[in-house]
Amino acid sequence: MKLVAGLGNPGKEYEGTPHNVGFQVVDILLKKLGLGEFQQKFHSQYLRTTLKGDVCIFLKPQTYVNRSGLAVAECVNYYKIPVQNLVVISDDLELPPGKVRFRNGGGHGGHNGLRSIIDSLGDRQFRRVRIGIGRPSGKQDVVGHVLSRWSMAEENLALKGIDQVLTELISFLETSKFENTSFFVSD
């Protein structure tokens, strides 16, 4: 059994913001796989299906990013999913738009959603996909940056990066292959 959790904030006002890139990846992935509609379960939008004979769960926690651990841990514990079969997709301020990093285990890197998941699971050995959103420029604060809309150029770079992420996630779902890697797409 595998679990893919995309982080973001619920609500229309957060759609299309860098902080919701995890939700965006899950939505695009499900569309690409031709999968159905979400249900509400585990304080999340939740979808369970079978791919290549393996049960796969897709989660978009509805707890806001900073409390994502509540939803993710609830699902992991209910199904007794091995933590190495969990992939969490989040934004990353330290990576520029268009840069993506895949990692097995590690720290939270200052990301409150990842911190919440680590604290709730009591384990940091889950897999993660970090999608670059860059640091704010000028006088904009971090909160304003992550909750504002992408610029057209940033969104185009992010979407190119997401295309690569989808390829890697589908490979993980079908083969369990997941390697530490980074890549950068250019415009």
Q: For the segment 14-66, what is each residue's pLDDT rounded down to a tens digit? A: 988 888 999 999 999 999 999 989 999 999 999 999 988 889 999 999 999 99
CATH number of 2-184: 3.40.50.1470
Q: To the nearest whole percent, how much of the chain has pLDDT over 70?
A: 95
Tell the burial category of 3 from Cβ atoms under 10 Å away from its Cβ (0-12, 13-18, 19+).
buried
In the chain, domain spans: 2-184
Please give the full DSSP string across 98-167, using - where no structure is assigned. TEEEEEES---TT-HHHHHHHHHHT---SEEEEEE-----TT--HHHHHTSPPPHHHHHHHHHHHHHHHH
**pLDDT higher than 90, residue 184:** no
| Residues labelled catalytic | 19
pLDDT for 143: 78
Dihedral sign from CA coordinates of 46, 14, 140, 67 = negative
Over range 66-89, report the average pLDDT: 96
pLDDT for 159: 83
Matching residue, tokens 């509540």: 70
| Model confidence pLDDT, tens digit, residues 129-165 | 999 988 777 777 787 777 888 788 888 888 888 888 8
| Phi, psi of 45, deg, nearest 5 | -85, 130
| pTM for the structure as a whole | 0.92
pLDDT for 182: 66
